[in-house]
Amino acid sequence: MTCDSDAAQRVEPFLIAIQDGSYGVSDDEWPAASAAFRRGLEAEFGVSFEEGNIGPSVDLPAFITLLQTPTVPLWQLAVAGFLLGKPIKDNWEAWRDMARAIRTYFSRSTFLNRESAIPIAVDALIATIDEPPTSIRLLGYEVGQAIEPVDVASEIEGVSEGPDTIYLGFVKHVFEVKADGERFRVAIEGTTINVQRMPLRGGG
């Protein structure tokens, strides 16, 4: 795999952004409504959230948290290897545990950074194949625009940087992955996940 090694080696924490569901009430009421929404999130998920914004040109207020479990350091090592093109050949249940921990937040309008999207992509691929594959290997990653269809005609080459948090509400994560001799494109936009089988290309 040709990749931007710097982008692949820079592994960020597992970041989760939840859109502020109180946004849109009157300006006078919003501060109190937003504070109540945040307290509700913290009570529901048992973690602290910080104020944030996931809209680069149009405000999309959100509350941000980082995945925090005792196994997160090991999960980050697994994600780092994946980004560098190291095949996943075992420990499937660990990957599914990562995905389950992140999916906990999918009851809300949730957006993920690149690192949080990776376990979701791997889990979706395993579900599509319907059984743990022999091997999964990342071929490429890019950031697409939300709503726009994924360009399946061109090959993703290399590993791009993940988007800054300010853009998370308007982008999709697009992974090109090879599993058991088949090529797949996995796109994640918010909590929407799309897996497509791709034609094999020379050298893939």
What residue type is assigned to position 31 of the chain? P
What's the order of all strands across the beta sheet hosting 158-159? 158-159, 136-145, 171-179, 182-189, 192-198
CB count in 10 Å sphere of residue 77? 11
Q: Is residue 50 part of a domain?
A: yes
Number of domains observed in the structure of the chain: 1
Q: Is residue 152 part of a domain?
A: yes
**Which domain covers residue 191, as residue numbers?**
5-198
* Cβ contact 64:165 at 8 Å: yes
pLDDT tens-place string over residues 66-106: 999 999 999 999 999 999 999 999 899 999 999 999 999 99
pLDDT tens-place string over residues 124-168: 999 998 777 899 999 999 999 987 777 766 789 899 999 999 999
Q: Is residue 203 part of a domain?
A: no
